[in-house]
Amino acid sequence: MKELRTFQTSDGINLHCIKDSKFTMDCVSFFVRMELTKENATNASLLSYVLKSGCKEYPSVSALNRRLQELYGCVMDVFTFKKDCQLVLCLNLQFADMAELMPKAFSVAGNVLLSPKMFLNRFPDGDFSNGVYALSKAIQSLNDNPTQYALFRLFEEMCQDSVNDSVSRSFGLSSDGYLKELSLITPSSLYSFYSSLITSAPVDVYCVSPKSADEVKACFEKIPFFDMARKKFEPVGKLKGINTAGRHVSESKDLNQTILACGYTLGGSDIYAAEVFNELLSGGGNSLLFENVRQREGLCYSVSSKIFPHTGVLAVYAGIDGRNSEKAVSIINECIKKAGSCTEERLTEAVNSLVSKYSLIPDSPQELTGFCFSCRINSISPDIDEYINKIRAVTKADIASVADSVKEQIIYSLN
Amino acid sequence: MEVIKEKGPISGALFYIYKLSSGIKCYIIPKCGFKTMQAMAVVGFGSADTSFSCGGEGFEMPAGTAHFIEHKLFDKKEKSAFTELSKNGASVNAFTDFARTCYYFSCQDNFYENLRTLVDMVSQPYFDEKGVESEKSIIASEINMYKDIPDRRVFSNLTKIMYPHSPLGEEIAGTEKSIEKITPEILYKCYNAFYTPENISIICCGDIEPEKAALIVQNAKFSAEGCEKNILRDNMPRLNDYVSKTLGISEPVFNVGFKYSNFDITPENTYAIKMIFDIVSGEGSKLNERLLNRQVLSEPLGFSLICTDHGSFSVVSGKSSKPAYIANSLIKTASRLKETGLNDTTLKRVRSMYCGRIIRGFNSVEAICMAQAELSKYNLTICDAERAVSAMTADKLNSLSASVFERENAYLSVVK
């Protein structure tokens, strides 16, 4: 990977610059971190809509977007997402790498983040009301995508009863927010949330660009962030207190096919072995789930798995004919067992496939930013070569150990 | 090998276009510094190409045949090309649309070996009874999956009312009933009709040697004979301009379709239409702002332009409980633009936005291949598209603005 340079411009505000001359655009992401709770998720999501509706300098949606279009179609978005058990408000900028564009694009981002439209410590009623409308639609639309909804419900069911562990419970929350919490927010309370967030939350800014780190820093330093001590977050580690083994949850939505989602927890602390294990399951055309559930049994078109190695959660999901649910669960569990006792050849293929995926991360500014930020959240080195070497070092015994630690927690089906 | 070298006027990127003796066209776009290398085989055979003639005899194929071939072309007698490419470090995929079937891989090592596998796969079909039968349940599952996705459903309902007498009105993957009729003989018949070198382009992008890649493509041996494709233009008077389906979703999704008869598929025309959408109802438009402020829209409208030999149309998509109001607002605003004409400030802003978009597109090997795949069927390159954007004038946009979003060509599909 090209050199990553980090500058701490004030307490809790860090600028991370990756210079790579092959890129034709600059990609800048501002990540503002906070605890994942229903209240924070709802406030932060609503805030993302209000910030996008304009700022003092560009006071309407059209004025802001026309300014972005003038900057050679600079793309800007503000949104929330969940990273393991933390909530992140993100402002993302992408613009063509052209002379003089970076200071102008940074200036727009600074205006949107730090100079929103406000009057007497409250956001304008119109922007607030439009934001509430848009967010309420976004929250409800989660129900309209069967796979997305099934995975959300799987994690919610798995984590909501987690005994004495608020971090584990937060893993099951949506980063979009909740209607009940939304109804309690006012233009004033949202402004208070914003003021507190922008002065106390840690901010990490990543810039992947052909420009030098010093050039990026000079543009960044013009953004007048408040110089205040900010919160610190520790990595959450493996989820604790999840005990839903044997639980079956079924919901009906009158679908043409059933979305089957199986949730598992993993013990151990070897994140690299866990990733290889997941690659064995669903890494590509020669993965176990594809070969067995789709090709051998013809049970589905789409079958996949998703791993959260740091929190120790695995989900396997497929769209199937509901009459084949039991058979599919049995084959999925058979695949998990097979992965644990895989041949040396299959392990090598999975390792090579995963290594290839990680090696290609530096070709995408977005993926590179995602990788570095994930490493930062989990306090591990953002050196891709080091990460790859650890993947290469995974042995059959490590995989067997991951397979032994897999515990089926819940089977969720959406019909 | 005949080679033409071109340089993009906006991106500055180099393009090598090889016209091989076999008839295949090979587009190579070197990208130094990137580890990702991608190759894509683009076959000019899409789901709408269901009717053709060979040696004076006419054939009608079941809906979904092109997509079925896409699934089965990976299978060979001894092994699967999908598995072979995966084992060789490549990430593999394929897709079918109305006009094309595309097979592609990306990798960081063994590019030339993988390219040979891709070219062999496309040039040597193997369809057997058992393989074809077992694929039917997998494709049926895919068809059912799409039925539960509101965005897919609203689009397929739209094309059904826009093109009731054309294969453009059929599902790309077909139906459970239509794929039941598919046999190895049908697949071979279509393969031999359409998988000819003249109908195939190979696109390669990454840190690769153009001539070495072109030589591998040159050596491919194709046995397909070709055919005469029947163009099925559906210009019948319309039966219906509105369709609505209830799925019980939280907010209705809608597609407004605009059908263009005798559309000349050129980069100038396609970019002009896209720019007119952005001016009329894109994120910087007053219409978008008004719709957001009136809370009839919660996120910006989407736009796509679909061009095929059988017909071309555009689709404006969004979510709203008042889709007809949005469709009418769009048509009225476009009509006003037609009367007032476009000012230079707007043209300059929109043109710079498209220039920036083209430059950003060169940030990714995959994006470059996809952009070229859109154009190669019409013997065009990204350079042609860049030239069209650079040369776009207010006159060109004003002359087209009259016909892009017209009420008499409009159709509305809603899924609630």
Give the pLDDT score at A1. Answer: 61
Would strands B51-54 and B228-229 be described as parallel, antiparallel, or unpaired?
antiparallel
pLDDT above 90 covers a percentage of chain B that reads 82
Q: Is A133 on the interface with B (CB under 8 A)?
A: yes
Q: Which range is least confidently modeled, A85-94, A156-165, B81-90, B181-190?
A: A156-165
Instruction: Give the C-alpha separation, A135 to B250, whole Å.
Output: 13
Give me the sign of the Cα torsion angle A65, A66, A67, A70.
Answer: positive
Quick check: A72 and B145 CB within 8 A? no
pLDDT at A231 > cutoff 90 = no
pLDDT at A140 > cutoff 80 = yes
Of B106, B109, B288, the CB nearest to A61: B288
Of A137, A356, A364, the CB nearest to B251: A137
- The alpha carbon of residue A208 is apart from the nearest alpha carbon of chain B, in Å, by 11
Quick check: B359 and A96 CB within 8 A? yes
The structure tokens listed for A146 are: 């069967």
- β-partners of residue A250 are A413
- CATH (residue range A4-220): 3.30.830.10
pLDDT at B200 > cutoff 90 = yes
Question: What is the SS3 assignment for B416?
Answer: coil
Of A65, A300, A353, the CB nearest to B284: A65
Q: What is the ipTM of this complex?
A: 0.90
Give the pLDDT score at A163. Answer: 64
Of B32, B87, B107, the CB nearest to A349: B87
Nearest to A90 by CA among A4, A203, A179, A199: A203
Which of B108, B353, B355, B386 to mutate to probe the A interface, most A CBs <10 Å?
A: B353
Instruction: Give the C-alpha separation, B67 to B98, whole Å.
Output: 10
Where residue A2 falls among pLDDT bands split at 50, 70, 90? low
* Rounded mean pLDDT, B239-268: 92
Name the DSSP class of B170: S
* Rounded mean pLDDT, B218-246: 83
Of B82, B145, B360, the CB nearest to A94: B360
- β-partners of residue A412 are A249, A261
Quick check: B142 and A302 CB within 8 A? yes
Q: Convert the pLDDT of each residue in B164-193 to its tens digit.
A: 989 999 999 999 999 999 999 999 999 999
Give the pLDDT score at B379. Answer: 86
pLDDT at A227 > cutoff 80 = no
Of A22, A137, A298, the CB nearest to B137: A298
Q: Is A323 on the interface with B (CB under 8 A)?
A: no
* Rounded mean pLDDT, A106-115: 95
Cβ-Cβ contacts under 8 Å, A24 against chain B: 11, 359-360, 362-363
**Which chain A residue has its CA at the smallest distance from B295's CA?**
A130
Distances (CA, A) of A282 to A154, B107, B140, B363, B398: 19, 18, 21, 28, 51
pLDDT at A162 > cutoff 80 = no
Q: Is A353 on the interface with B (CB under 8 A)?
A: yes
Instruction: Give the C-alpha separation, B27 to B24, whole Å.
Output: 10
Instruction: Give the C-alpha separation, B409 to A258, whole Å.
Output: 38
The alpha carbon torsion through B18, B22, B24, B29 (nearest 10 deg) reads -30
Where residue B401 falls among pLDDT bands split at 50, 70, 90? confident
Quick check: A21 and B33 CB within 8 A? yes
Superfamily of domain A247-414: Metalloenzyme, LuxS/M16 peptidase-like (3.30.830.10)
pLDDT above 90 covers a percentage of chain A that reads 82
Measured CA angle at B21 (ends B19, B27), to 5 deg: 25
Mean pLDDT estimate for chain A: 93
Quick check: B364 and A61 CB within 8 A? no
Cβ-Cβ contacts under 8 Å, A141 against chain B: 249-251, 319
Q: Convert the pLDDT of each residue in B24-53 to its tens digit.
A: 999 999 999 999 999 999 999 999 999 999
Which of B82, B142, B147, B148 to mutate to probe the A interface, most A CBs <10 Å?
A: B148
Quick check: A360 and B354 CB within 8 A? no
- The residues of chain A that CATH labels 3.30.830.10 are 4-220, 247-414
Domains, chain B, ordered by start: 2-229 (3.30.830.10), 242-415 (3.30.830.10)
